[in-house]
């Protein structure tokens, strides 16, 4: 029996059940155990004040290290590049649509929103890009899971929200998206759209069981994105995006670093065959062109 630890949100449960079903098809009985994390409990403060995106992993990782669960299912964009000692990422599933989407109460697209419209998002990356592209809009801090954010939109708390397309699609709600945002212009988070699996570093039984779920092409792309993230030392405290796509035998990586108010952004792109070297190389290029000052501020 493989015990899978999962958060309790509808999206997290979907992802855990998806992995459970695929593993059971391969002949591995599984059980999903719901674990409440700090990120789920604390909804009245900014995410970075309670440990960043790692706040959605902490209790699940502690349960794995304690031997209470064997496998964790995460949205890769929520996973820090440095893992706790004794744990490892053991598979990355094929990536879903990595784009951000606008969900608008009036069905207006991003460029059509009237000046002064309120857009809700808690992501500094999204806030930065919204302000850079539409400084005439008002950005409102908005936390909560997908259902909570959509409910707040319906209640009139804001005029539009920005979400990940992958999350909407996995919940069967992609029809609610008003507009998918071009990832070249509105750069996604590193790893966005990909599900990753985490297990104990020495647990070869679980690592072997999940091995067939790993998607090599997705693995290469997100390796480049996360190499850039690690080289820049970025996290949820920094407006930063990175997105890699396959081009023939190489990868193309686009990325940006900015200020939360959108007043300054450094963008870049680079091509290469080695994902880790590509990410580090583009990070060096961004730093040489001023990203270091943005990160330190």
Listed residue (235, 189, 170, 208) closest to 76, CA to CA: 189
Considering the domain architecture, whether residues 79 and 157 belong to the same structural domain is answered as no
Query: What is the rounded average pLDDT of the residues 203-221?
Result: 97
pLDDT at position 50 is 44
Q: Which residues contact 48 (CB under 8 A, 6 or more apart)?
A: 235, 236, 237
Banded pLDDT at 37 (limits 50, 70, 90):
confident
One domain for residues 107 and 254? no
Regarding whether 55 and 33 lie in a shared domain, the answer is yes
Query: Which residue range(s) make up the domain with 291?
Result: 223-296
Tabulate helix, strand, coil % of the chain (nearest 5): 40, 25, 35
Domain with 263 in it: what CATH number?
3.30.160.40
Please check whether residues 142 and 268 belong to one and the same domain: no
pTM confidence score: 0.91
| Domains contained in the chain, number | 3
CB atoms within 10 A of CB 3: 16
Instruction: Evaluate if residue 5 carries a pLDDT over 90.
Output: yes
78: annotated active-site residue: yes
Out of 40, 44, 78, 284, which one is annotated catalytic? 78
Percent of the chain topping pLDDT 70: 93
CATH number of the structural domain spanning residue 107: 3.40.190.10
How many other C-beta atoms are found inside a 10 Å radius of the C-beta of residue 254?
20
140: β partners: 120
Same domain? For 75 and 209 the reply is yes
Cite the DSSP H helix spans in 48-121: 58-65
Flag whether 168 is in a domain: yes
Of the listed ranges 42-46, 55-59, 252-256, the least confidently predicted one is: 42-46
Lowest-confidence range among 75-89, 213-227, 228-242?
228-242
Q: What is the pLDDT of residue 71?
A: 98
* 38 & 81 share domain: yes
Which segment of 105-109, 198-202, 236-240 scores lowest on mean pLDDT? 236-240
């Amino acid at each position: 029996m493989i015990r899978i630890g999962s958060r309790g949100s509808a999206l997290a449960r979907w992802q855990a059940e998806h992995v459970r079903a695929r593993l059971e098809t391969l002949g591995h009985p599984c059980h999903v155990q719901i674990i409440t994390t700090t990120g789920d409990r604390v909804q009245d403060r900014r995410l970075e004040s309670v440990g960043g995106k790692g706040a959605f992993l902490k209790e699940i990782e502690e349960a794995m290290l304690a031997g209470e669960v064997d496998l964790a299912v995460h949205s890769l964009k929520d996973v820090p590049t440095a893992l706790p000692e004794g744990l490892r990422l053991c598979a990355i599933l094929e990536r879903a649509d990595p784009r951000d989407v606008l969900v608008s109460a009036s069905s207006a697209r991003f460029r059509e929103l009237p000046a002064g419209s309120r857009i809700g998002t808690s992501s500094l990356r999204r806030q930065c890009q919204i302000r850079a592209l539409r400084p005439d809009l008002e950005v409102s801090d908005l936390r909560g899971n997908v259902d909570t954010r959509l409910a707040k939109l319906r209640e009139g708390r804001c005029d539009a929200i920005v979400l990940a397309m992958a999350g909407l699609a996995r919940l069967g709600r992609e029809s609610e998206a008003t507009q998918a945002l071009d990832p070249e212009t509105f750069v996604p988070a590193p790893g966005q759209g990909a599900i990753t699996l985490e297990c104990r570093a020495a647990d070869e039984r679980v690592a072997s069981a999940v091995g067939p779920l790993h998607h090599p092409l997705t693995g290469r792309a997100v390796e480049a994105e996360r190499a850039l993230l690690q080289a820049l030392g970025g996290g949820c405290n920094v407006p930063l995006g990175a997105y890699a796509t396959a081009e023939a035998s190489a990868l193309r990586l686009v990325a940006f670093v900015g200020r939360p108010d959108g007043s300054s952004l450094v963008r870049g792109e680079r091509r290469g065959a080695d994902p880790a070297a590509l990410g580090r190389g583009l990070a060096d290029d961004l730093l040489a062109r001023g990203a270091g000052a943005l990160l330190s501020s």
